[in-house]
Amino acid sequence: MKVGVLGAGQLGRMLALAGYPLGLRFCFLDPAAGSPASALAEHVVAPWGDAQALTQLAECDVVTFEFENVPVETVEMLATRTQVCPGAKALAVARDRLHEKTAFQELGIPTAKFAAVDDAAGLASALSEVGLPAVLKTRCFGYDGKGQHVIRSAADADAAWRALGGQPLLLEAFVTFSRELSLIAVRSRSGDTRFYPLVENEHREGILHLSRAPARNLDPAQQTRAEEHARRLLERLSYVGVLTLELFEVGGTLFANEIAPRVHNSGHWTIEGAETSQFENHLRAVCGLPLGSASARGPTAMLNFVGHMPPAARVLGIAGAHLHDYGKLPRARRKLGHVTLCGASPADLEAKIAEALALLEP
Ligand code: AMP
């Protein structure tokens, strides 16, 4: 079976690595030459709307994406010629924060108060509706904390408008959370679902830094609640594949922040830390195969290498460490690789995390 993938970044590369043992073949489309997946598989370098490239992709048995800023029209066009999972509907909801939040609201999933902002007058009325502090975000194309501005005072509002005004925006109430969690969920073509244990995520400068899975002191009721939220989303979107739900924990409540219609950085730990990785389960889902267990094998962590890769020998000197180097050129704020740390116990895992964090010190 041949899988077409829109996007050839590290997520695509890890999809290919998970798919080869299953006998799958891959064809990637990405406008950027030399992307991480190109070292492993056929890579068509062309714009997203290129007719010849899309004909090549449409020859695949199924097409999926590892990047949500692909034009919806590209996905719609491919869907007329081959199977595309998850579909254009899921992509259209996930790439626009207003649609995403509206879906949470309609499905009864708690989320921060929000209001759409289309012009300067709209910002003033949104601020009176949502209150302060608040976060102004671009509706589309925001990632790794880009395209957002915290507003704590009227003066901040002017600065935020100057930085982001002129494009569709969303204002949301600032959530004072105790921690950030994510749930990686997967749904098969036949509607079967699996949920990984909740992951606890720490960010640095808006970029994922460290994930611990399962989240520490995980209340089973919290896991059940998160799964119920994700199940409603999967069903509403007739979803096939991996869906990631990002959450803020506030007391016993989980507020949905956003969804990603794809495998996710906070699920990289599953490669070594779960019975079946998120990449393999995504492929099983989109190829119409049975899903694998999403159970954790033990306490696991994932540390991102951003802007700089520590020497491989030092990373691998940590017992239970698994290194992933995406083969990218170093650049500030760029995700270059990660390490997965498998612990014998929660205390052992914390010791390994401390060792790995020491490698990031200058
Ligand atoms: P996002 O692009 O929506 O995932 O936001 C990036 C990061 O900004 C999140 O992981 C949070 O740490 C923070 N953030 C986003 N929205 C809010 C909010 N409404 N309240 C508090 N922090 C937020």
Q: How much is the pLDDT for 313?
A: 98
**Which of 207, 257, 264, 265 has most ligand 1 atoms within 8 Å of its beta carbon, as the pocket-test mutant?**
257
Alpha-carbon distance of 220 to 240, in angstroms, equals 26
CA distances to 11, 170, 287, 326 from 57, rounded to whole Å, are: 18, 34, 15, 24
**Position in ligand 1 atom list of the atom nearest CA 142:** 2
183 and 150, same structural domain? no
CA of 287 relative to ligand 1 center, distance in Å: 33
pLDDT at 54 over 80: yes
Question: Which whole number is the average pLDDT over 286-302?
Answer: 98
Tokens of 163: 């930085």
185 and 333, same structural domain? yes
Domain count, the chain: 3
pLDDT at 88 over 90: yes
Q: How much is the pLDDT for 171?
A: 97
348 and 293, same structural domain? yes
Question: Is 79 in contact with 24 (CB distance < 8 Å)?
Answer: no
Residue 223 CB: number of other CB atoms within 10 A? 19
Question: Is 266 in contact with 199 (CB distance < 8 Å)?
Answer: yes
146: confidence class by pLDDT, cuts 50, 70, 90: confident
CA of 82 relative to ligand 1 center, distance in Å: 36
Q: Which residue, by CA, sits nearest to atom 1 of ligand 1?
A: 145
Cβ–ligand 1 contact at 147 (below 6 Å): no
pLDDT at 142 over 80: no
Percent of the chain surpassing pLDDT 70? 100
pLDDT at 144 over 80: no
CA of 250 relative to ligand 1 center, distance in Å: 13
Alpha-carbon distance of 310 to 251, in angstroms, equals 37
Q: Which amino acid is at 158?
A: D
Cβ–ligand 1 contact at 152 (below 6 Å): no
200 and 145, same structural domain? no
CA distances to 39, 137, 138 from 143, rounded to whole Å, are: 25, 10, 10
pLDDT at 21 over 80: yes
Question: Which whole number is the average pLDDT over 66-79?
Answer: 93
CA of 168 relative to ligand 1 center, distance in Å: 18
Last residue of a domain, one of 173, 192, 225: 173
**Position in ligand 1 atom list of the atom nearest CA 143:** 2
Last residue of a domain, one of 84, 103, 127: 84
pLDDT at 113 over 80: yes
Question: Is 49 in contact with 206 (CB distance < 8 Å)?
Answer: no
CA of 167 relative to ligand 1 center, distance in Å: 19
Cβ–ligand 1 contact at 68 (below 6 Å): no
- Residue 90 falls within a domain, yes or no? no
CA angle 29, 18, 55 (to 5 degrees): 25
Q: How much is the pLDDT for 61?
A: 98
- Residue 231 falls within a domain, yes or no? yes
Structural domain of 324: 179-358
Q: Tell me the Ramachandran region of residue 257: left when phi exceeds 0, alpha when psi lies from -120 to 50, beta otherwise.
A: alpha
Q: How far is CA 282 from the centre of its chain?
A: 13
Question: Which whole number is the average pLDDT over 55-65?
Answer: 98
258: confidence class by pLDDT, cuts 50, 70, 90: very high
Residue whose pair of structure tokens reads 């803020």 in the numeric block: 248
Give the H/E segment covering residue 125. Answer: helix 120-130
Please tell me whether residue 20 adopts helix, strand or coil conformation: helix
171 CB contacts (<8 Å, ≥6 apart)?
Answer: 114, 115, 116, 117, 123, 126, 127, 130, 134, 135, 136, 137, 151
Alpha-carbon distance of 69 to 266, in angstroms, equals 19
pLDDT at 236 over 80: yes
Q: How much is the pLDDT for 155?
A: 87
